[in-house]
Chains A and B, each alone.
Chain A
Amino acid sequence: MSETPDNKEILRQGAVAAWPICLGYLPIGLAFGVLAEKAGLPWWAVAMMSVMVFAGSAQFICVAMLAAGASTAAIVLTTFVVNLRHVLMSSALAVYLRGVSRRFLALYSYGVTDESFAVNLTRFRDGGWDRWRALTVNHLANATWFMATVCGALIGQFVPQGALGIDYALTGMFICLLVFQLQSRIHILTGLLAVAISISWYLLIPGDSYIVGASMSAATLGYLLKQRYRRGR
């Protein structure tokens, strides 16, 4: 794909790719804003957090911990652990962003979330995608998250809950992106292993380590099985 800066086209294609994320961020962002407001955070603190942190689950946990009177150090440490999973996503994206300038990567990294990662990686793999379109997806998702969380803090209590099944938007998106990833028997097997390990880990061990733990173990098992299969032939 050429990188002539046809900005309108980039924005359009980015928006086409990003809308399921934005739709999914609306109810979660609103819910977050309402929760934060109830926990005593002013709307401008919600705005600050959504810009400075931009990480859904960590922000929810932060509000819960603030409400429980946790220390700043404990909240920062928990945030670090919860967001370590992005190391894996950022590494997987690096395959498609080889040789790109560090300045671009530094900006791009800000927007690496579960959702933008899954959408952009799928697009990169299918081809016809480039870093500018991917960056557009990141920024549109970020802007939506920012607006939804601030709106939630300001007017969230007036918005009806669960309208039109919107709470299922991100689950539906993840299911579809998962389907796109099922390219070979090894991929299917890795997915099944990840489901089994993740649910067991989730039930046995408190916290969010199940995401990183299950992803890494399943990918490693899948990789070893693939090597074995190759050698066996």
Chain B
Amino acid sequence: MTFADYLFLFGGMGLVTYLPRALPLLYLAHRKMPQWLIDWLDLIPVAILSALLAPTLLADTTARAFQLGKLELLVGIPTLLFALKTRSLGGTVLVGMLLYWLGGMVY
């Protein structure tokens, strides 16, 4: 592929990535939002984070099959408890990494 081919491809990808990120902000930040929308949006972060995490923790992502007892899940439980207890983002990330690293040696 030539430079122009890449420019065209990435330009297209960039545009369809940017618009969904920009339009809601540009539109909603300058309007009075109805209360139901604010209440609904309040539940979006917890829903997105759970939806993103579920396959990582509960599925074999290569075979796309349910799998209970993945190292990611086993490490995730103490990591979650640590987060609940300390409420420290940095600490939780490091504890998760450490456990995952150690777990990878024995698992």
Tell whether A49 pairs with B47 under 8 Å between CB atoms, given A90-B22, A94-B33, A194-B54: no
Interface string of A175-199 (1 = CB under 8 A from B): 1111111100011001111111111
Tell whether A202 pairs with B59 under 8 Å between CB atoms, given A48-B10, A175-B79, A175-B92: yes
Q: What is the minimal beta-carbon distance from B94 to any residue of chain A, in angstroms? A: 8
Whether B16 pairs with A219 at a CB distance below 8 angstroms is no
Tell whether A219 pairs with B55 under 8 Å between CB atoms, given A20-B89, A94-B25, A181-B49: no
Whether A108 pairs with B89 at a CB distance below 8 angstroms is no
- B45 within 8 A of partner (CB): yes
Whether A215 pairs with B48 at a CB distance below 8 angstroms is yes
- A144 within 8 A of partner (CB): no
Is the contact region of chain A dominated by helix, strand, or loop, or is it mixed? helix
Q: What is the minimal beta-carbon distance from A194 to any residue of chain B, in angstroms? A: 4
Contact of A109 among B22, B30, B46 (CB under 8 A): B22
Q: Which residue of B lies closest to A212 (CB)?
A: B51
- B28 within 8 A of partner (CB): yes
Tell whether A105 pairs with B26 under 8 Å between CB atoms, given A80-B16, A171-B56, A175-B92: yes
Interface string of A104-146 (1 = CB under 8 A from B): 0110111010100111011000000000000000000000000
Q: Which residue of A lies closest to B75 (CB)?
A: A168
Contacts of B14 in A (CB 8 A): 52-54
- A95 within 8 A of partner (CB): yes
Contacts of B56 in A (CB 8 A): 171
Per the bound structure, the CA–CA distance linking A107 and B63 in Å amounts to: 39
Q: Which residue of A lies closest to B65 (CB)?
A: A203
Chain B residues numbered 1-49 whose CB sits less than 8 Å from any CB in chain A? 1, 5-14, 16-18, 20-30, 33, 36, 38-49
Band of interface residues on A: 35 or more
Interface string of A31-57 (1 = CB under 8 A from B): 000000000000001001100111100
Per the bound structure, the CA–CA distance linking A35 and B56 in Å amounts to: 21
Per the bound structure, the CA–CA distance linking A76 and B1 in Å amounts to: 16
Contact of B101 among A102, A165, A210 (CB under 8 A): A165
Contacts of B25 in A (CB 8 A): 90-91, 93-94, 97, 105, 108-109, 112
Binding site for A on B (CB under 8 A): 1, 5-14, 16-18, 20-30, 33, 36, 38-59, 64-66, 72, 75-76, 79-80, 83-84, 87-90, 92-102, 104
A-B contact pairs, 19 of them (CB 8 A): A53-B13, A58-B17, A87-B23, A92-B44, A102-B26, A114-B48, A121-B45, A165-B102, A165-B104, A168-B97, A169-B93, A178-B49, A190-B50, A199-B66, A203-B66, A206-B64, A214-B51, A218-B43, A218-B47
